[in-house]
């Protein structure tokens, strides 16, 4: 049985929690104490990571880290609700931070505050927003932010072969970080040619399928809600991911090829995921599909 991947947000932040706390707050006097349980009475979400910290100025407080693959318009309300629940549970002030990983597909204004008013009563919640695509890649190397190494290709100025190789070297020279290489390759595939990614580094689809980031993309195939059952939604989501990767590998696909990929079963899609990086021309995909259909 394949080993379950541990390349989610909690694992990344736990690599160097104090450095992470310094980075998201800009306060180097903060001292890390512990990672808290993020499970609350009514909700449990993998994307939230709670750090208990202290500082000479503010005393003990909690850093609420919300990592989102893509910004969701419902986040302001969630930040308000989750901040209040965490403060109630632990009895400490909360400093909430929203970290967006991939830039929106269209121009979207990302607010830093939730506010609502009814009958003269106002509720609001401020929170810090960090958009990774706005973070300078050099900051990762200068501040030794190992937690951000897998995100190097999507950082500002990070989408170069030089930066990819430097991030990869940092991962490979640290035994604690070596299993994060598939995550680095995954994000590199968003901005660099897949043959280059394949040439430079390891690509492990088995590991990637276990990661919350890959599964977050698969959820896009489930956005029709109850119109699709879970199995069909997963199949559609995985097909869409593989079509995206195939386009980066081979260029544009024909409408027929896209439809044939979308008709593949989950098992066949998994087979395609394992071999697609070996394709060098559209004819290779055509042969793969023809063999299945023959």
Q: For residue range 28-57, what is the model confidence (pLDDT) as tens digits? A: 999 999 999 867 554 455 558 899 999 999
Least confident of 61-65, 222-226, 229-233, 275-279: 222-226
- How far, in Å, CA of 237 to CA of 224, rounded? 11
What was the pLDDT predicted at 2? 38
Residue 70 CA to its chain's centroid (Å):
8
* Per-residue pLDDT at 1 exceeds 50: no
Whole-angstrom Cα distance, residue 127 to residue 76? 9
Token pair listed for 238: 């995985």
Residue 37: DSSP 8-state: P
For residue 60, report the phi and psi dihedrals to the nearest 5 degrees.
Answer: -80, 140
Pairing type for strands 121-126 and 113-118 reads antiparallel
- pLDDT bucket at 212, cuts 50 / 70 / 90: low
The token pair at 26 is 């800009």
What's the mean pLDDT in 98-102? Answer: 91
Q: Is pLDDT above 60 for 73?
A: yes
Domain with residues 9-134, CATH architecture:
3-Layer(aba) Sandwich (3.40)
Q: Where in the chain is the domain with CATH 3.40.1350?
A: 9-134
Residues 6+ apart with CB under 8 A from 112: 126, 127, 128, 129
Residue 84 has pLDDT above 80, yes or no: yes
Map residue 85 onto helix, strand or coil. helix
**Strand-strand pairing, 113-118 and 94-102:** unpaired
pLDDT digits (tens, 9 = 90+) for 171-197: 888 888 877 888 888 788 777 776 677
Task: Kindly write down the DSSP assignment for every residue of 134-200, as one continuous string.
Answer: GSBHHHHHHTT-GGGGGGGGGSBT--SHHHHHHHHHHHHTSTTTGGGHHHHHHHHTTTS-HHHHHHH
């Amino acid at each position: 049985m394949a080993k379950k991947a541990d390349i989610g947000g909690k694992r990344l932040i736990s690599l160097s929690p104090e450095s992470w706390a310094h980075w998201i707050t800009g306060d180097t006097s903060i001292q890390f104490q512990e990672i808290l349980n993020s499970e609350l009475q009514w909700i449990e979400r993998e994307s939230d990571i709670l750090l208990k910290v202290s500082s000479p100025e503010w005393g003990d407080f909690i850093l609420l880290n919300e990592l989102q693959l893509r910004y969701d318009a419902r986040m302001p309300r969630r930040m308000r609700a989750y901040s209040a629940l965490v403060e109630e549970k632990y009895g400490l002030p909360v400093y909430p931070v929203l970290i967006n990983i991939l830039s929106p597909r269209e121009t979207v204004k990302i607010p830093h505050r939730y506010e609502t008013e009814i009958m003269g009563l106002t509720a609001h919640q401020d929170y810090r927003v960090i958009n990774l695509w706005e973070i300078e890649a050099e900051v990762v190397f200068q501040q030794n932010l190992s937690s951000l190494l897998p995100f190097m290709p999507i950082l500002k100025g990070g989408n170069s072969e030089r930066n990819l190789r430097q991030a990869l070297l940092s991962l490979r020279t640290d035994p604690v970080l070596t299993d994060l290489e598939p995550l680095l390759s995954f994000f590199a595939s968003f901005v660099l040619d897949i043959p280059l990614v394949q040439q430079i580094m390891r690509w492990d689809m088995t590991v990637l399928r276990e990661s919350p980031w890959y599964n977050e993309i698969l959820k896009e195939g489930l956005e029709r809600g109850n119109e699709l059952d879970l199995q069909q939604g997963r199949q559609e989501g995985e097909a869409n991911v593989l079509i995206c990767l195939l386009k980066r590998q081979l260029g544009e696909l024909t409408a027929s090829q896209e439809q044939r990929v979308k008709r593949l079963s989950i098992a066949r899609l998994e087979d395609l995921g394992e071999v697609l990086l070996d394709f060098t021309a559209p004819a290779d995909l055509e042969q793969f599909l023809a063999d299945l259909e023959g």
